[in-house]
Amino acid sequence: MTRVPTARSSSLPHQEAVFRLSFKGQICVKDHVARSPQSIVTYRDLANDPLPHIQEATVAAMFIPPAARNAEQVLATALQEKLIAELAASDTLVIGAPMYNFNIPSTLKAWIDHVVVFGRTIGQGLFNDTRVIIASARGGAYGPVTPREGYDYQERYLRAVLGLIGLDDITFAHAEMRAAADGDPGLAQFASFATDSLSAAQATIQAEANRPRGLPTPGALS
Ligand SMILES: Cc1cc2nc3c(=O)[nH]c(=O)nc-3n(C[C@H](O)[C@H](O)[C@H](O)COP(=O)(O)O)c2cc1C
């Protein structure tokens, strides 16, 4: 650790939206706050405090300007607006995302459905300056030449859907073979792979946390 993570040109406190679905995300946040105590962390435990799915009125409101919405639509979009504002105020978004059935848990999908909104956030550039760190845990392994290569819809999906709202500065840290680490006797031969994978994922997260951000690029100064 040689530099303060998320270094910025201003001394304003950082804001983070943190979505905990796995312990890997917590490691990252703990490290970050330890080195940058002025950080503001907004923590959402989507696993234990799940968001409601979007409703019919939420979808209808996507096609109606805010001033013309009825009371039900205003109410339905209130949570959506809160989550969008939370994200817009963040310079770093940390997502803890285990792989479930080759994709993400539905609890995380519910959050995505609230913040990726046609006519409101898609293509609007609201989050262009926000970088994303995704700490992912997987029971198996999905790298090149593994039997399940090609079954990884988790990273592919997250890159695609977050890209729709301008979140394309994304770092993935995958801790793979957790089933072996969790003691599955049939996978004992992969125990050291699991240990190495977790170490590599943590190193990826820490390197990302050290990456200076918010500093003006040479082009921006002229
Ligand atoms: C409902 C469910 C579905 C899962 N599906 C997959 C899967 O498709 N592929 C995989 O590699 N692991 C799968 N796993 C294993 C998890 O990804 C693994 O246990 C991971 O470590 C969970 O994250 P956590 O340790 O942060 O809870 C699944 C686990 C659960 C509970």
* 217 within some domain: no
* 84 within some domain: yes
Q: Model-level pTM?
A: 0.86
Rounded distance, CA 81 to CA 207, Å? 32
Nearest CA-CA partner of 18 in 129, 185, 154, 135: 135
Question: Structural domain tally of the chain?
Answer: 1
Give pLDDT, residue 191.
95
User: pLDDT > 90: what percent of the chain?
Assistant: 49
Q: pLDDT tens across 62-113, in order?
A: 899 989 999 999 998 999 999 999 888 888 888 888 899 999 989 899 999 9
Average pLDDT of the chain is 81
* 216 within some domain: no
Give the CATH number, domain containing residue 68. Answer: 3.40.50.360
pLDDT at residue 28 tops 70: no
pLDDT at residue 9 tops 50: no
* 150 within some domain: yes
Which atom number of ligand 1 is nearest to the Cα of residue 178?
Answer: 21
* 68 within some domain: yes
* 14 within some domain: yes
Give pLDDT, residue 97.
86
**Across residues 119-139, what is the average pLDDT?**
90
Please say whether the beta carbons of 34 and 26 come within 8 A.
no
Which atom number of ligand 1 is nearest to the Cα of residue 140?
Answer: 11
Rounded distance, CA 132 to CA 166, Å? 11
Give pLDDT, residue 16.
52
Q: Is the CB of 25 under 6 A from ligand 1?
A: no
Pocket test for ligand 1, best of 100, 182, 190, 195 (most atoms within 8 A of CB): 100
Whole-number Å distance, alpha carbon 101 to ligand 1 midpoint, is 7
| Range with the poorest average pLDDT among 3-17, 86-100, 189-203 | 3-17
Question: pLDDT class for 24, splitting at 50, 70, 90?
Answer: low
DSSP 74: H
Q: Is the CB of 151 under 6 A from ligand 1?
A: no
Rounded distance, CA 213 to CA 222, Å? 19
pLDDT at residue 55 tops 80: yes
* 199 within some domain: yes
Q: Which domain holds residue 104?
A: 3-210
Q: Is the CB of 102 under 6 A from ligand 1?
A: yes
**Across residues 25-53, what is the average pLDDT?**
75
* 215 within some domain: no
Give pLDDT, residue 64.
92
pLDDT at residue 34 tops 80: no
Rounded distance, CA 211 to CA 169, Å? 12
Identify the residue whose C-alpha is closest to ligand 1 atom 19. Answer: 139
Helix (H, G, I), strand (E, B) or coil at 23: helix
